[in-house]
Amino acid sequence: MRPPDFETLAVHAGIEPDPLTGAVMTPIYQTSTYAQSAPGEHKGYDYSRSDNPTRTVLQAQLAALEGGSRALVYASGLAATDCVLNLLRSGDHVIASDDLYGGTFRLLEYVAKPRGIETSFIAMNEASVRAALKPNTRLVWFESPTNPLLKVIDIEAVARIASEHGALCAVDNTFLSPYFQNPLKLGAHLVMHSMTKYINGHSDVIMGCLIFNDRPIPWADKGLYERLKFLQNAVGGVPAPMDCFLALRGIKTLALRMKRHEENALQVAAWLEAHPKIERVIYPGLASHPGHALACRQARGHGGMLSFFPRAKLPQVPCFLSDLKLFTLAESLGGVESLIEHPAIMTHASIPPERRAEIGITDNLIRCSVGIESARDLIDDLDRALAKI
Ligand SMILES: Cc1ncc(COP(=O)(O)O)c(C=O)c1O
């Protein structure tokens, strides 16, 4: 039989009416602990850091959406990333893309490095990954498209190189969501999402997840699931039941939202590209994007994130951002409402200025999360604010 389409999975996967009451919506099991009939005898749950029924349903659904056998959820995207880094030991080496969410850079550079885990940040492609490999390389970590410069990285090629080397390949799939891209199907070993973004989709939850197919960890005698599940409980960065419920509710409309985000982003990107006050637009869905062909090959769409460079100097850029009425000036992305931000001052401020300059995060770079409003209204808003530059 044909497997269900994404839209169906988003509504039904992992979700059964509550066995106790028949409730159609997954109940919020707002409890920290569970009665035991005798010491150690319980119904599968003993303490909510270890497991919680609302979380169990969410994890099953995420695994189905991303095409993995297992999913684990965390209190934030960075807590999920930290759990992957906890698979490593002092003396291990990581390769990461140079264009990366600022918080991931901060975690690698200022938390993992002092603990003896060194990261090489590279402009990632097949040749640069091969050149950066060391005998102790255990993990290759990247986003595709990257944040904020939307570079498209060949997931299949990088995953192959990592596998041949006995390293894990982890992809931060936050920007495209499982609706548009499934890195596990391209050979990646781990997918991370900041669920704070598209998966939840309503800017009211902070959460992260890891999705994977259980497999042996090449350098350890443990399987990926056993080790990560142990770490989820041992480190304890788990989300609350209420937040798991909100994410479950958000996911039901993920397919509808992603389609609309993409339609709007394409219209806004094309309009900006034709505007005389815009130097350059970066959106993988535009034919002008150098990674357009690769993006079309490895993903089913291009999402709602775009970046652009207005022909303006620093004092004018913040004024333009503050002049916008529909685009809210705020960090984060992936909610139904359009957000806009200035990476150099906001999301990527934790990256040292000289490094930002090297990568291309200039003072006139603007990153934009195109929401699901009317594209015409969004364009009018940009038009009005650009006129003042
Ligand atoms: C691409 C990407 N990855 C990871 C994160 C971190 O996720 P969280 O804020 O949920 O910890 C973010 C946050 O902005 C992000 O944009």
Domain residue limits, the chain:
6-251, 255-387
- The finding on whether 181 has its CB within 6 A of some atom of ligand 1 is no
User: Which pLDDT band holds residue 91 (cuts at 50, 70, 90)?
Assistant: very high
CB of 369 closer than 6 angstroms to any ligand 1 atom: no
Check pocket membership of 174 for ligand 1, CB cut-off 6 A: yes
Q: How many Å lie between the centroid of ligand 1 and the Cα of residue 151?
A: 17
* Mean pLDDT value of segment 78-100: 97
Average pLDDT (224-248) is 98
Average pLDDT over residues 71-86: 98
Residues of the chain above pLDDT 70, percent: 100
**pLDDT beyond 90 at 146:** yes
Nearest Cα neighbor of 161 from 191, 188, 136 is: 188
Ramachandran angles phi, psi of 185, nearest 5°: -70, -15
Rounded (5°) CA angle 205-208-210: 155
93-97 sheet: strands from edge to edge: 70-74, 208-212, 190-194, 168-172, 137-143, 93-97, 118-122
Testing ligand 1's pocket by substitution, the residue of 85, 196, 348, 361 carrying the most ligand atoms inside 8 A of its CB is 196
Determine the pLDDT at residue 119: 98
pLDDT band for position 315 (cuts 50, 70, 90): confident
Q: Per-residue b/e over 361-378, b at no fewer than 16 CB within 10 Å?
A: bebbbbbbbbbbbebeeb
Q: Tens digits of per-residue pLDDT, 331-382?
A: 999 999 999 999 999 989 988 999 899 999 999 999 999 999 999 999 999 9
> Which pLDDT score is estimated for 314?
83
Please compute the mean of the pLDDT values over residues 56-68 and round it to a whole number.
98
Whether the Cβ atoms of residue 308 and residue 281 lie closer than 8 Å to each other: yes
Of ligand 1's atoms, which has the minimum distance to the CA of residue 206? 10
For the 6-251 domain, the top CATH level (class) is alpha beta
Q: Whole-angstrom Cα distance, residue 66 to residue 345?
A: 33
Q: Is the pLDDT of residue 385 over 90?
A: yes
Reported confidence tier of residue 313, pLDDT bands at 50, 70, 90: confident
Spatial distance between the Cα atoms of 139 and 121, rounded to a whole number of angstroms? 12
- Are 271 and 382 within 8 A, CB to CB? yes
Distance from the alpha carbon of residue 16 to the mean position of ligand 1, in angstroms: 30
Between the CA of 241 and the centroid of ligand 1 the distance, in Å, is: 20
The stretches of the chain forming alpha helices (DSSP H) are: 6-12, 53-66, 77-85, 102-106, 126-132, 155-165, 177-180, 224-235, 241-251, 254-273, 292-298, 316-323, 353-359, 375-387
Q: Hey, what CATH topology would domain 255-387 get?
A: Aspartate Aminotransferase, domain 1 (3.90.1150)
Cα–Cα separations (whole angstroms), residue 75 to 2, 171, 198, 238, 324:
35, 19, 16, 5, 32
Write down the pTM of the prediction: 0.97
Backbone angles phi, psi at 196, to 5 degrees: -50, -25
Determine if ligand 1 sits within 6 Å of the CB of residue 318. no
Which of 197, 202, 203 for mutating ligand 1's site (highest number of atoms within 8 Å of CB)? 197
**Which CA distances in Å does 77 have to 105, 272, 326, 389?**
13, 31, 27, 36
What's the pLDDT score for residue 351? 87
Pocket test for ligand 1, best of 100, 147, 207, 331 (most atoms within 8 A of CB): 147
Mean pLDDT of 122-129: 97
For residues 284-301, give the mean pLDDT: 98
* pLDDT beyond 90 at 19: no
99 lines ligand 1 (CB under 6 A): no
Average pLDDT in the 269-284 region? 98
Residues 6+ apart with CB under 8 A from 314: 363, 364
Active site members: 49, 101, 172, 197
Q: How far is CA 311 from CA 273, 331, 357, in A?
A: 12, 22, 17
| 169 pLDDT above the threshold of 90 | yes
Predicted confidence (pLDDT) at residue 248 exceeds the cutoff of 90: yes
Which residue is closest in CA terms to ligand 1's atom 8?
A: 77
- Going from the Cα of 1 to the center of ligand 1, the distance in angstroms, rounded, reads 37
pLDDT for position 282: 98
83 alpha carbon to ligand 1 midpoint, in Å?
14
